[in-house]
Amino acid sequence: MSTQQAHTLSSWTSLETFEVEVSSPSNRLYRNGRQQVEVTVKLRARNGQGQIVPLSEAEMRSVRLTDYNSGEELPPVPASGAVTQGWGTTDTRNEYEFFPGAREAEGEGPAPSSEYSFAVRYVQTIDEAPKRIGALVRNDDGTVFTSDKVKQFIEALPERLPSLEQTRAVDYEWKVKRIVGDDDDWDLETVDYYYCGLSINGNRVKLREFNVRPASTFQWESANPASELFSFTGFGTPGSTVANYSVPALFNSRKHSPIREPSDGEGIVILIRSNRISQSSAGSVHKGACDVDARDEFGTDYPLRLSFKSSSNRNELVITRR
């Protein structure tokens, strides 16, 4: 049989099944540009002889998600992984959790079938308005088939970010634990861990990222240049034992590393209290508040600020929204 004959037998001319379904736990997603809704396109094709034939690899790669109302293809998610305007689509599952829902996610995807072909795609958005999402596929002959012809679509529903939703209580947990030194302020050489967590309406939400800029801030016991009692900070990302600092070499021996008790889903700020380095000999160090960029398991960002409790209290740290 010639290649042309084989192509004629295997080529399809109609789609007996063209279904667009939500395959993540929910059709809702936070409009943070990162959280995804998983969409599965289910296809079954017949050739001119009425035989069921599988779609080729090129045909499966051609499957695109569309704006159901306009028919336009949704643009690809940028290389950064975050949508910054409108909607975006990708065939790659990212690291963020789906919006909680009543159904279970498919996990490994639809089971293989000799009759059906499945294309899995994902959508992300920063838009407020719901969107009807359809699909299209091109066969190897170049013919385009669209799901609007069979009235197949899903509706994706963006959710407001928790920090902007007045009906949701967003709390930043701030727990301190003494790791080195006696449990009082008379000990001049101590290390405390401040665990930063997140809860929404009383439900714990894991942090995936926790970055402090700059990594360290300093405060001496008094404004006197001769003061030798001081505190400085470092930080650790959720679940990591790596301690991050931004300090002159003079302070390297005072750093605490590695992190002894990391916490999955919580960032850590390290508070080190020490002595015998005068403020006048410290060199160029950061004094004052630090910006904290936290991101949760759903891909939502939380801009925070880290500082000492007051200009006269180097023994405690506070974290606030910024």
Domain map (residue ranges) of the chain = 3-159, 170-321
For residue 303, the one-letter residue type is P
Provide φ and ψ at 49, rounded to 5°: -90, 5
Q: How far is the C-alpha of 209 from the C-alpha of 295, rounded, in Å?
A: 5
231 — phi, psi (to 5°)?
-135, 150
The yes or no reply on domain 3-159 and CATH 2.50.20 is no
Integer Cα distance of 317 and 5 in angstroms: 76
Measured between alpha carbons, how far is 210 from 250 in angstroms, rounded to an integer? 26
Instruction: Kindly report the number of other CB atoms within 10 A of residue 246's CB atom.
Output: 17
Strand-pairing partners, residue 244, are 235
pLDDT in tens, the chain (322 residues): 343 434 444 589 899 999 999 999 999 999 999 999 999 999 999 998 989 999 999 999 999 999 999 999 999 999 999 999 999 999 999 999 999 987 655 555 565 566 899 999 999 999 999 999 999 999 999 999 999 999 999 999 999 998 776 657 889 999 999 999 998 778 899 999 999 999 998 999 999 999 999 999 999 999 999 999 999 999 999 999 999 999 999 999 999 999 999 999 999 999 999 999 999 999 999 999 999 999 999 999 999 999 999 999 999 999 999 8
pTM of the model: 0.89
Neighbours of 65 (CB within 10 A): 27
